[in-house]
Chains A and B, each alone.
Chain A
């Protein structure tokens, strides 16, 4: 028997996979899921109900599931937690919010910046976006330069956040 806790939106499901049935929040289901194309498309058969589901795994137990025109996110709790690394609570790391071209870098390493200062200008699909710093501090490292094409989520600038005790 295996137990999975799955969150879909605000709902939580405790799914136990037993020998020849499932328990979902304690209710017994006999159903069958079959892959249709080896590439995420499945049919779930449950009595007379046939549901087409397209599953795509993101990372670490997260699935995007398309069912009946709904796009749902199903997060499977695997019972262990990956150490959360990059996410400093005060966000000392500035990552690209979208894929696109770095048009301009407006700061240098060592610069002091205040909340809301524009650090970079990025362009995608003819739209220019100013990327501002969410916290004050000192620019520690700049990992990009004007003219670079970057993907979404790439680390652009590391910031040494200002110590609160200084204020």
Chain B
């Protein structure tokens, strides 16, 4: 067996790590921009698939397939994003005689269209959000439509996923423009401009269930995750288990997910996503037919390597675990480190990683794509790294994650690290009072850092600039010489 990973970044490395443990040779594919990336270096073999632009490399089915044939790969793992939810890709891989490590292409097609996914869910007896669940025709009369909608309303791309292609219209006046923008965005991102409207559930929590199906109707469930802390409908902090569910609710949501998977005869890993309203009513939103970014929190509390199970299933056609093998211990939380600036509405940031120190120690897992000297561009997703903390309960997981985030040092690029710490330190987060609009109402307590730290920073800055100026102007005063002897060891080292 030889496994090609049709992806990049942290998830490509994550998959290769399990392959190494299993003794499976790995193949990385890389675009021009990723020649020197970590995933290219980690793999046993690496093969170029085209220019930087994703549509010409990571999204280019012929390029990926040609690479797989040339290198004689026997299986392909798509990771998340890129081609992972594209049924045509799954089909092409299987037609070429390789194993596709993912769902059957026909279930991907059903689930990829959010509207047909809802139909399937309703058929399986799951509760679906009421209201508009029909595609919005290009010719829809806005004036007529506007009256029949209750605001705020979400405008979503039928082909969307991963939080992309969702826009909010607060008033009737905004609806026309939002629809237009959502359609353009959907067309640009997914090549399909179909959109639909969905009532916004106020104070909703995002709860999802991890499943693994054998393709014949047997489904394993790995408990739920809560991903309510989001920015721009994209997840930022995720945890398992969900903090406020009763055992009964937990069992009921898990059973619903299992039922849907079973009805679809779902194969491989998948995540069934729900919204939970203030009365703890669950509504099905979608199925992500692939490994998810936040899968490590489930791995931390179950001790199961999900990628390992996924690969074994793809190879043998059988589940290697039974439901009773899956036991839960403690709590886990994941924080996403992003090349985004929270102070500027999460706009992307770019730069060269000039310094890097990653956290470690008990209960900490870091899935990262960073290295010192790496250049961060806007060519791909802004996810740089994930820090996952396990603790015996939620409180100790929070403490650990806080500790780890303080250890994380990234120089040369603005990230969301400070915001992540502030969220973990906030009272609402600590008591589990969270929902998907958490960040809209989040104003970090204006805690000034300890005086000793700001003083150190001031001293460091003054000394640094002082030395720089004096070394430049070559003032040979007694004062400067003394400082050189006392503290300017850096100068001596540099000139050695």
Contact = CB atoms under 8 A, between A and B. Distances in A.
Interface stretch (B28-36, B392-400, B404-412): B404-412
Interface residues of B, number: 56
A144 B377 CA distance: 20
27 contacts: A2-B466, A2-B479, A4-B462, A9-B449, A9-B454, A11-B454, A13-B454, A19-B479, A19-B482, A19-B483, A20-B483, A35-B493, A40-B354, A40-B355, A53-B460, A57-B464, A61-B465, A63-B460, A63-B464, A65-B460, A67-B453, A67-B456, A68-B453, A72-B453, A78-B465, A98-B347, A125-B380
A74 B494 contact: no
Given A31-B459, A70-B453, A71-B417, 4 more contacts: A11-B448, A40-B354, A40-B411, A44-B459
A72 B478 CA distance: 32
Contacts of A55: 460-461, 464
B238 interface: no
Interface string B442-485: 00000011010111111111111110100000000011001100
B457 A69 contact: no
A1 B479 contact: yes
Contacts of B418: 70-71
Contacts of A126: 164, 185, 188-189
Contact of B378 (A38, A61, A124): A124
Interface in A123-141: 123-128, 130
Interface of B: 164, 181, 184-185, 188-189, 232, 344, 347-348, 350, 354-355, 377-378, 380-382, 405-409, 411-412, 417-418, 421, 448-449, 451, 453-466, 468, 478-479, 482-483, 486-487, 489-490, 493-494
Contacts of A125: 348, 378, 380-382
Contacts of A72: 449, 453-454, 457
B493 A38 contact: yes
A15 interface: yes
A76 B465 contact: yes
Interface SS of A by simple majority: strand
Interface magnitude class on chain A: 35 or more
Interface in A29-68: 29, 31-35, 37-42, 44, 51, 53-57, 61, 63-68
Contacts, number: 179
B232 A6 contact: no
Contact of A24 (B164, B378, B458): B458
A17 interface: yes
A97 B347 contact: yes
A-B pairs, 5 with minimum CB distance: A69-B406, A35-B490, A74-B461, A13-B458, A15-B462
B335 to A, nearest CB: 13
Contacts of A92: none
B451 A33 contact: no
A127 B355 contact: no
A29 B459 contact: yes
Contacts of A130: 181
A18 B421 CA distance: 37
A39 B448 CA distance: 27
A31 B448 CA distance: 24
Contacts of A66: 409, 411
B459 A15 contact: yes
A152 B345 CA distance: 14
Of listed A15, A19, A65, A125, residue having the most chain B CB within 10 A? A125
A53 B458 CA distance: 11
B181 to A, nearest CB: 6
Given A53-B456, A56-B411, A67-B457, A76 B462 contact: yes
A127 B381 contact: no
Contacts of B189: 126
B69 to A, nearest CB: 30
A61 B411 CA distance: 17
A100 interface: yes
